[in-house]
Structure 1
Amino acid sequence: MRITCLHTADSNIAVFENTARALGLDQHQFRHVSRPDLLAAAEKAGGLTAEILQQTADVLLALSENTDRVLLTCSTLGPAATLASKSTTVPVLRVDQALAEQAMKTAGNVVALCAVETTLEPTRQLFAQVERHPQARLKTRLVAGAWEKFKQGDLAGYLQAIAVAADAEYRQGAACVVLAQASMTGAAQLTQTGKPLTSPECGLRAALI
């Protein structure tokens, strides 16, 4: 199967390649396209505007022409996958859809950690839309200062800050901690008190169904 991934951070290419290998998906062909400008525009605008939504959907549609699946890996731009899906028969998926579905099957407190402020609202909306366990309770939280570390190139500091935040949520009684952005994935290996869910693993599994 040919899977085309649209990223908004160049470093996420390695994240998805590594996850694919860990899941034993070497038989599939992955193509990666990175458009950091789309996330930068959303950050500058304070969120996902109608113009950025349409621009992202147009990119996704163009990518759908020579592939079997398109996977949007940016949580801030997630709704663009739904918009693009209306104009193509090729499945256009948002990587955090499966993440939300798996997380909300949990009975108890589900905490979705975000690093970028513009990701908070799309994450809340997505998790509210999926089928949930009657006792699932969602909280979204911004990991303060983490994204600045990422933008400064301090990936180790970025992931450590997220791991610390995840451990704190587990200690406070979270039944499930979710790393809402793909760039946060490496933090799951650094936690001490629990194993958070990550979007690349959940999303890639779902894309191949």
Structure 2
Amino acid sequence: MAQTLALIHTSPTLTPMFTALCAAEMPDVQIFHMVDESLIKETVRAGSLQRRTMRRLLMQVESAVATGVDAVLITCSSIGPGVAIAQQLFDTPVIRIDDAMAEEAVRLGTRIGVAATLSTTMSPTVALLRARAAELGKEIEIVEALAEGAFDAVLAGDVETHDRILTQTLLQELQQVDLIVLAQASMARVVKALPEGLLKPQVLGSPELAVKRTRRILEAARKPAFSEVMV
């Protein structure tokens, strides 16, 4: 029987990207998308992730797990702390979109730039980087670059302004770091469209790294236990 992956999004714009990534990385895995825009809208309105929002996220995860999925991938960085709680409550693997990216960033760099269009995404991303650095016993410096106005522009349907503000922020504030971390999955599209070599530091985005990690988790779950092999 084919394995199944549920993807929980806070924006419907992410579904085509993750559909393509999953098809490329794990074509034999069946996927389905669950979208709840209110999770991010409520977080932005409150200025931080609220307990009531975390409870609703846990209900989404529980709904996905009830279908018998083999894993759940949550694609919004702003609700990352809620994902950490879900990981403790469910036996089914619950994967945080930016976990693999944070580990890779801390492994590769010491002065790490973090780009975001939302302060509610910046804070959990920075906290995650510091936590991963502490686990490795490594000192890091974080340079925050908030592309103010970009998120409002994209909400208004002005993608061009969003992309312009984000690009200016990257070029003006993060050229002197070891590498750049993109705090939101939607930002990877903008960086890919830039001319090669325009950004000096290496750039890490969460979608591809998260999907690759998900593939490895599913592959490990598919392998029979040693006792089964011996039967």
Partner of 2:188: 185
Q: What does the per-residue CA deviation read over 1:164-208, in whole Å, with 9 as the maximum and x for residues that have no partner?
A: 32233443x111111111111201213322452111011111111
Question: 2:71–2:94: 8 Å Cα contact kept in structure 1?
Answer: yes
Q: What does the per-residue CA deviation read over 1:98-134, in whole Å, with 9 as the maximum and x for residues that have no partner?
A: 1111111123321111111211221121111114583
Structure 1 residue runs of 5 or longer lacking an equivalent are none
Deviation for aligned residue 1:147: 0.3
Partner of 1:142: 146
Deviation for aligned residue 1:159: 2.7
Deviation for aligned residue 1:58: 1.9
Residues 46, 54 of structure 1: alpha-carbon distance in 2 compared, 3 angstrom cutoff: same
Question: 1:69–1:93: 8 Å Cα contact kept in structure 2?
Answer: yes
Distance 1:19 1:159 in 2: 22
Structure 2 residue runs of 5 or longer lacking an equivalent are 217-231
- 5 Å-filtered alignment, 1:1-209, equals 1-21=3-23, 23-65=24-66, 66-131=68-133, 132=136, 134=138, 136-171=140-175, 173-191=176-194, 192-194=198-200, 195-209=202-216
Distance 2:203 2:22 in 1: 18
User: Residue 144 of structure 1 aligns to a residue in which SS?
Assistant: coil
Distance 1:206 1:74 in 2: 16
TM-score of the two chains, using structure 2 as the length reference: 0.82
TM-score of the two chains, using structure 1 as the length reference: 0.90
Report the RMSD for the aligned CA atoms in angstroms: 1.8
Partner of 2:223: none
Distance 1:155 1:30 in 2: 28
- Equivalent pairs counted in the alignment come to 207
Comparing both structures, which one devotes a greater share of its residues to helix?
Answer: 2
Distance 1:107 1:44 in 2: 33
Identity %: 23
